[in-house]
Structure 1
């Protein structure tokens, strides 16, 4: 049983030490994912020499990886999917804080296998969930009160997001805006110290570079603000469609009862493998693709449109496989594609020098805001990941419009829907 004491300063020391563990675990998770993606790239390169038969390599790799990751999640059901909805359910008192074992190894290993094999999933969900579990375990081991255990669980979840994207402020804002929707002194202090120590320790493994090396963009002229406002409105519609597709894919796969979950995941993996065989940028979390777009390396409009359509469908399909993995990273890649595509289509009427990279960065934040319904988190994440402080006004404008549009269309935030779906099925 947790101790009865509450309100003592010792919880901040526990939060700081637990943050160190989150940083080391999250940093190791990202390192393993980088190695797995490098290995996947080497296998795809080698398979090109095999001609048509080489297409079997990515198909087999993704099918086996998806099936194995799903099988791990079947043994540890809490490891399936993102985990962010689980963190939110704990804060609302709908679920008990998770045990560290066996959640952490299942999330870690299953996530590396699922994302390493090419599924369109993000590292942030597992890292958030593992961070929350580490916070819970730290509170239990030190006999904190039930309330402080919940605070540690929630604040260390934000530390996990901070480590996933090297975005300490983004991780903190995520806790206040998305998970708790409140700002309280004790929660703020725990989140700040946990996030600071987590990112600091993760840098021992990953270094201190931002996720994307975006060239310094010029501040867009004020006359472009209506364009970013319209981009936000359109992105809100796109975000609602994406949210509905995520939930619809899960419901459809649940209804396919003639095929077991592991076999179903293998089929989904095989489909993703086909995409990888056609173009590696069509699979995976999309970080490299996002990086190229915000760096200004933008394909022609037809290629952007093709990537957008394929990843728009393949992302929710990958999530429906039931493997450990999140929604954020593929969502950011989709937003970057969308922003670059809009710029490419509107280029003839835009002022000279208005680059696609700026639109890609704004599209990332706007689509995140529309789907997750956390506009400040989207803005802060993108600024920290790209260093593009010159885009703050366009980012705020587009995220405002995207969030307002999604709200007016009546679709709830995706994690609210996933949380309700989870609690009803448990």
Structure 2
């Protein structure tokens, strides 16, 4: 009877230990990410209560959201300044670590992202929760790899895999987290990385549900599958969303470049000015600000808005998102993009409805498709966009229109010469370093 070679047994042990560490770290990502979402939910409620109280103060009450958001942006910027890579989304840093262009940051990154992101997003800036959670998940993964005495390659894989687990927790989308790692961060499919990401996302989402529950992020009543003859309509809708996404990407980068030239204005003061501007929008209508989940939910549940109102909201949030990102506070781009896509899809349906025959898809279907298509036009990850939206809304019947629109958005943005947003942000980060 032949004995198993020592090297093979040792390799299997290391492999098994890596998966155990990934599972434990995934649990921690779920608790931290779920806690972050829970805190943001209560921060949104608190902000709503403050705005209601401010309404009773008359004209003076309109200054309350201005001061609130300005103070929040300044405080979050001050926190992010003290920790390298704490400002912004953090996804570009996760990608740079995978490409071995940067080193992982773990010591103070997690508290800076948690507290700074909570203050920035909670005060009403147009930022997403997913960036901080992805970055915190990656930091937990690399810390677990180091303390678990894994080799450099496994630690790097764990850093990436747990970043994907963070995205899964942010939107309760485990498959979306896995596709995000393969399609966006690494742009490759490695069996070992896939398995590590599966372990991390499953344990992370399971643990996060003990904190935030298991409900869909954007619950939507059953949406019937549109007739097949409408696929060309969704193809055209995806093309327009791809063009809009290319413009949005350019505006994000351009806004950052303009703010970089304001060297005489301290970063914290610049953040306060941006926050004051967003707060003024909040005084006009709270739906114009924040991450956008409430706006997306209203659009998906059929709240009727005129074409003029949709266009105004779209234009305001189109500018407010890049401006908020330029405040150099922790916060992501995904959630505001999804809200912007829902606006675009609903507006597309409103404009096309007079010429669409009976039995066509309704505004909810167009809103869902718009979310995925605009996301794809900016991020350039069509499968991630389609699956992420399906997991958030439970609209599996729309998979064919989603994939059609995401394909069209990708091709359109590419033909317009638009570079994927995180490629541009990563290169900008490396150039500034």
Q: TM range, normalised to the smaller chain?
A: over 0.9
User: Given the alignment, which residue of 273, 276, 284 partners 1:267?
Assistant: 273
User: Given the alignment, which residue of 403, 416, 421 partners 2:423?
Assistant: 416
CA distance in 1, matches of 2:174, 2:12: 30
User: Given the alignment, which residue of 225, 228, 231 partners 2:237?
Assistant: 231
CA distance in 1, matches of 2:206, 2:12: 30
CA distance in 2, matches of 1:33, 1:147: 34
User: Given the alignment, which residue of 12, 21, 27 partners 1:14?
Assistant: 21
Matches within 5 A, 1:297-376: 297-353=303-359, 354-376=361-383
User: Given the alignment, which residue of 132, 137, 153 partners 1:131?
Assistant: 137
CA distance in 2, matches of 1:6, 1:306: 59
Runs of 4+ in 1 over 4 A off after TM superposition: 4-7
The answer for the alignment partner of 2:391 in structure 1 is: 384
**What TM-score, normalized by structure 2, do the two folds share?**
0.96
CA distance in 1, matches of 2:119, 2:335: 16
**What TM-score, normalized by structure 1, do the two folds share?**
0.98
| Range with greater deviation from structure 2 (251-260 or 320-329) | 251-260
Which sections of structure 2, spanning at least 5 residues, go unmatched? Answer: 1-10
Once the two structures are superposed, residues 144-174 of structure 1 have per-residue CA deviations (whole angstroms, 9 ceiling, x without a partner) of 0000000000000000000000000000100
Matches within 5 A, 1:130-149: 130-149=136-155
User: Given the alignment, which residue of 276, 288, 291 partners 1:285?
Assistant: 291
CA distance in 1, matches of 2:198, 2:84: 30
* 3-state secondary structure, aligned to 1:8: helix
The answer for the alignment partner of 1:406 in structure 2 is: 413
CA distance in 1, matches of 2:266, 2:283: 26
Q: What's the CA shift for 1:405?
A: 0.4
Q: What's the CA shift for 1:256?
A: 0.8
* Residues paired across the two proteins, number: 422
* 3-state secondary structure, aligned to 1:257: coil
Could you say which structure has the larger radius of gyration?
2
CA distance in 2, matches of 1:298, 1:113: 32
1:76 aligns with 2:78: no
The answer for the alignment partner of 2:120 in structure 1 is: 114
The answer for the alignment partner of 2:212 in structure 1 is: 206
Q: What's the CA shift for 1:299?
A: 1.3
CA distance in 2, matches of 1:199, 1:136: 19
Which sections of structure 1, spanning at least 5 residues, go unmatched? Answer: none
The answer for the alignment partner of 1:395 in structure 2 is: 402
Paired residues of 1:6 and 1:148 also in contact (CA < 8 A): no
User: Given the alignment, which residue of 39, 44, 47 partners 2:46?
Assistant: 39
Once the two structures are superposed, residues 379-406 of structure 1 have per-residue CA deviations (whole angstroms, 9 ceiling, x without a partner) of 0000000000110010000000000000
Q: What is the RMSD computed on CA atoms of the aligned residues? A: 1.1
Once the two structures are superposed, residues 213-269 of structure 1 have per-residue CA deviations (whole angstroms, 9 ceiling, x without a partner) of 111111101111111010011111100000000000100111111211000000000
Paired residues of 1:296 and 1:355 also in contact (CA < 8 A): no
